[in-house]
Structure 1
């Protein structure tokens, strides 16, 4: 089979970096481009970080495009308290050899969806959904051309991580999330309920470091910085490795389980802004609009991740 074509929309972030590495190490996937969005840190840093990661992986052939520098209707909220001031604290920042592409991320995504055969491109959303919402708003005709949107965001039984009810990616731009979930495109959602089950334990990070190649060593250093916040917050050995679940789903969906649900996004309440209201028990009668993942085989996930990053 030919590789599955994907565009990675991202706001790196150490866990975003892990997702990009997993994708670039996997021959089952063809990364058409990486688009940056403001989120974990401002856009200038997310765009630089994405280029850094491709160079660390020896994949300077992958183009990176800068997109939205703020949410659709709100001021930007960032997460330096988790990711550090660069977004990739744990490694020294540098300027990649390949420059940022001049085309705007929204234009790149739109153009690519129109140029590729219908139903062949999957959008992998690792940050706030601003870029993707802008694509759907400006070019509604391309919605039918998207194979699937696989996103990391939201939570239901697990609650939130930036507020008691909201997960960070959705909270940053709830209006964009509302638009994406309502667009009629096939959506697979990786919420905190599943990402909190893939913890970067000391043993797993040591296994990754033992690969010895540049990407593995860089990722191990980043994870040792990244996990300190969640270890203190949750009292766990390691922190959740959120974003690579999106890529792992494309590579080995059998390690996950979930169900089709209706998902609505709260945009009006100050108390629950950005909450993903998941009708897991199908009590509302609203139409299903997303496959919501709830469980994962964590050991199988890390076996895949560590082995693939060791190939780079």
Structure 2
């Protein structure tokens, strides 16, 4: 009879033979995102927690300048899946491009608008004044945002125009906004956490309007700031991949509910420059949004309505069934 150590070696080798093919079965997938803000953090947190691997995926996350660039890459078939906003999805559908949402990754609006401190003082309006007054004070100001079709731009543009204010938008990546504000190139900007917090903490800016606190009128707030998106034909040809991606996001929601300390540790690792006090503040407001609920046809109808309200040209949008904008 062979000594026990030989049987143990055989079991270890057998385990190796089983694990190597299992690892080799991970499907590679690249996912462009528009920034490293907290609004797009859900899939990065999911990756940090190993949730993609759990569902058979090896995700490579690529940072692009804005959501519009990510959607353009999707439409051109440079990538198969992107993380992008509802404005980009609606704009694509309105121009005949069948982009569909796979899974919601952030409830509501993740962006806040900050004004340079001296600009805020010159408006003569208090940061605690009624929302309508703060929106009117934005008339004629140069405000940075990520892109013309971003939910950030769509939300604030629509809300401002409803009270007669015309914002002068200029577009740039979120990391560039802080320097642009402090150099006086822009008078304010719209961004997600942690970007808007940097000049506020430095006492260079004032938080003017908060998206996560739902300070804008309901008709100007999206159901979702960002979602995983793909082309309709790709979704139809890859149903198992669609299920796996949706499962990753669902598992993140469970982790936030059941293992908050582990999730918070992952966030701290992803944002090492954010101090503990600021992280506590931001996590308290963002975690609920990351625990995103599934999108519905009613949500997509709402997204269409608020993008249309800005006057964006969407020649084919009225023929689009909101339910068809979701992966089935």
When the two structures are superposed, what TM-score results if normalisation uses the length of structure 1? 0.30
Q: Max radius of gyration: which structure?
A: 2
The structure with the greater share of residues assigned to helix is: 2
Higher RCO by CA contacts (8 Å cutoff, separation 6 or greater): 2
